[in-house]
Amino acid sequence: MTIVDTPTDAAPTAPTGGPELPQERRLVTEIPGPQSRRLLERKAEAVAKGVGHTIPVATVAAGGGVLVDADGNSLIDLGSGIAVTGVGNSAPRVVEAVQRQVAQFTHTCFTISPYDSYVEVAEALNRLTPGDFVKRSALFNSGAEAVENAVKIARHYTKKQGVVVFDHAYHGRTNLTMALTAKSLPYKSGFGPFAPEVYRVPLSYPYRDELSGADAASRAIAQIEAQVRAENLAAILIEPIQGEGGFIVPAEGFLPALQRWANDNGVVFIADEVQTGFARTGTMFASEQFGIVPDLVTTAKGIAGGLPLSAVTGRAEIMDSAQVGGLGGTYGGNPIACAAALATIETYEQENLTERARAIGGILAARLNELKATDPRVGDVRGLGAMMAMELVDPATGAPDAALASRVAASVIAQGVVVLTCGTWGNVIRFLPPLVISDELLNEGIDIVGKALIEC
């Protein structure tokens, strides 16, 4: 006789993700519900505490503009897993390409025996990134790894060591990228010593410094010339719009002036487009909108519909300077991730998602500026395309109000909307919706943010 033990509190069968999921906000329990609580308890017992979480739910499916949890709640997704799922979760082309590839072969190590999809991703990146010079690409696994490799390549090419980065910058959590990242807590504190030959200079932060782009660039360049000098400097590394640092959009002219100085002084100009890349800002890469053509571009997040992949793309003479065997890694450019990237890039292009990002940006900018007009605690609204944010401040002093940002975010999340904060002072609420979200869901999400702001 077989005894079937039927658990009474089993999670309902997980729905399939993708755009077919009902596109609605639906709360059937409080957030987190009982199934999510159970997962979070197990997480606390099994997973290192340093690995945090923002949204206290156990995800079981996601697609379009929603994320469904184990209790059956459907949350509006205004975060895209930090700007990763621009094409949506389980996007149909990505699912199909991954399924095909996983059944074909899962791994060879590209540096052992090459395959077509890696080369095709490199060709696509060489075509899509700014600049009509001859380019090469190399593929890696994470954004931090791409940034590390861009610095390695720039040092090898210039035979110099210094790297200039900016206030508020975020470039990752590995040893070199911790050194490149500005914010101490939580990213660096206690994890030193950090890699040497990294120099931090002031950014252009129009809301707080009120400098023109040209003046902010002169200030940065004067500091570089006084404290580093071009003859010691391999690269200037900058996010065209800072991501974790607070969605800071530099004043017009800042980035071109830096690039000009770098080009004139034998310094490699690297744009870290890990967060801004792939249609997010309304063009394939944000650099295009600032009139810059970087020597090297790092990409990751939006590249492969959620599969881990990253890249460095740039001028052939710089990229080719590293010796054979000097670049690579066991998993870099994994065939499943490459298949996903090709399907993702096809989706951006076929579905006109750059245009969709601009439309989303229009809605976000209009709605957030309405909030700003009626609430002096909204100090600044900024961003490009589907990468927008509002900076919350004390209206009397302009001081960052991180407590308000956390209260608003917590209230919004409890009402079934995924929203993220950022900024050196944690006082910025950022919006990074999937580019396939409907106007209805987007507006409903912003409504909830607006109400939470009034209530907090």
Ligand X SMILES: *Cc1c(COP(=O)(O)O)cnc(C)c1O
Could you list the residues that contact ligand X (CB under 6 A)?
142-144, 147, 170-172, 239, 243-244, 272, 274-275, 300
Structure token digits, residue 177: 């990228």
CA distance 88 to 86: 5
Q: Which is nearer to ligand X, 308 or 328 (CB)?
A: 308
Cβ-based nearer residue to ligand X, 243 or 450 = 243
Q: Are strands 417-418 and 74-77 parallel, antiparallel or unpaired?
A: parallel
Q: Find the shortest distance in angstroms from Cβ 172 to ligand X.
A: 4
> 243 vs 416, which CB is nearer to ligand X?
243
Closest residue to ligand X: CB criterion: 143
Q: By C-beta, is 151 or 224 nearer to ligand X? A: 151
C-beta closer to ligand X: residue 70 or 345: 345
| Closest separation in Å from C-beta 80 to ligand X | 12
Task: Report which secondary-structure segment, H or E, holds 341.
Answer: helix 335-350
* Beta carbon of residue 275, minimum distance to ligand X (angstroms, whole number): 3
Considering the complex, what minimum distance in angstroms separates the CB of residue 144 from ligand X?
A: 3
Please report the beta strands in 107-232, taking only residues with DSSP state E, as ranges in sequence order.
135-140, 162-166, 198-201
Cβ proximity of 372 and 399 under 8 Å: no
Nearer to ligand X, 276 or 415 (CB): 276
The CA angle 140-266-326, to the nearest 5 degrees, is 30
Residues 6+ positions from 30 with CB-CB distance below 8 Å: 414
Question: Is the distance from CB of 215 to CB of 204 less than 8 angstroms?
Answer: no
Q: What is the dihedral of CA 130, 132, 136, 140, to 10 degrees?
A: 10
Kindly state the smallest distance separating residue 84's Cβ from ligand X, in Å: 9
Q: Kindly tell me which of 66 and 237 has the beta carbon lying closer to ligand X.
A: 237
Both tokens assigned to 320: 């080719």
The minimum distance between CB 10 and ligand X, in angstroms, equals 34
Closest separation in Å from C-beta 193 to ligand X: 20
* Cα(266)–Cα(262) distance, integer angstroms: 6
Alpha helix stretches (DSSP H) within 67-195: 80-83, 92-104, 116-128, 143-158, 175-180
